[in-house]
């Protein structure tokens, strides 16, 4: 898998910052890049954070 990442400048550019997150190794990084189609599935970072469970949306009843 690392060979494929190194062959593609686009994947390498994405792989490096994602894999630098503590606790994110090769398997998790490749999974995230694959599932998100190299982050092209989301229009902005907030949508990805919601998908990953890292952002909480308040509903009207929570106020």
Name the token pair of 13: 């550019």
The b/e string for 46-60 (b: 16+ C-beta within 10 A; e otherwise) is eebeeeeeeeeeeee
pLDDT of 19 reads 92
pLDDT of 51 reads 84
Phi-psi region of 21 (alpha: psi -120 to 50; beta: other; left: phi over 0): beta
pLDDT of 56 reads 74
For the stretch 2-59, pLDDT in tens is 888 889 999 999 999 999 999 999 999 999 999 999 999 988 888 888 888 887 776 6
In angstroms, the CA 42 to CA 37 distance is 9
Domain limits, the chain: 2-52
The secondary structure element, H or E, covering residue 6 is helix 2-7
pTM for the whole thing?
0.72
């Amino acid at each position: 898998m690392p060979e494929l990442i190194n062959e593609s400048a686009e994947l390498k550019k994405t792989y490096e910052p994602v894999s630098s997150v503590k606790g994110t190794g090769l398997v998790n990084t490749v999974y995230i890049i694959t599932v998100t189609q190299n982050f092209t599935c989301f229009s902005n970072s907030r949508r990805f954070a919601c998908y990953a469970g890292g952002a909480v949306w308040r509903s009207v009843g929570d106020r």
